[in-house]
Amino acid sequence: MKKKILLSCVAAIAAFTLLAQEKKAPARGGILHPEMAVENGTYDKPMAVIGTKPTEPWTATTIAAGVDKKPEPGRPVSVVGEIVDFSCYIQLGKHGEKHRSCGQKCVQNGQPIGLLTRTGTLYMLMPEEHDPRRDGGVDARVSASDHMGHIVEVNGTEASVNGYRAIYVQGLKK
């Protein structure tokens, strides 16, 4: 009898606890706010190409800067997507032509640059060459600003760490 009462109490407490917990929002996939249309470039016919196709994942300055001259793994890629302002996209879901001028201002003032693929994968974009990037000799902001809200092809080295994805773009100028 005591065992039945104890089991009933435990079950009631467990049920109450489950009901009291906040319901989690369902996981979302794909592009946020697809109604914010892109007017320049398509996934089949990108408007422009940014970066040069690397023959090796990392340049000499990146290899030299690596711990024990061994950078983290990367692989050369060509990815088609929309250039977005990373911060506004994650915070507000904004992208496309209607967000172009805001996105341009954000990246020109140092906000991170993103590439949003057809499936909703978001990459951070940055120059690949380590020393020129560190020393201000290369800059991704000009090409990002020129193509904000456009669908383009980006060539570079894909790397990821703990769920964060990046494409390091070679061949950018200041």
pLDDT for the residue 173: 84
Q: For residue 69, what are the domain limits?
A: 49-169
Q: Is residue 161 part of a domain?
A: yes
pLDDT for 49-76, tens place per residue?
Answer: 999 999 999 999 999 999 999 999 999 9
Please, which residues bridge with residue 154 across strands?
50, 79
Q: Is there a domain that residue 22 lies in?
A: no
Please give the C-alpha separations between residue 169 and each of 91, 125, 161, in angstroms, as whole numbers. Answer: 24, 7, 17
Number of domains in the chain: 1
Domain containing residue 90: CATH number: 2.40.50
Distances (CA, A) of 28 to 23, 24, 42, 81, 119: 15, 12, 23, 19, 11
Q: How is residue 158 written in tokens?
A: 């894909």
| Residue 10: inside a domain | no
Distances 114 to 7, 23, 46, 132 between C-alpha atoms, Å: 53, 31, 16, 20
Encode pLDDT of 29-49 as tens digits. 799 999 999 999 999 999 999
**Is residue 150 situated within a structural domain?**
yes
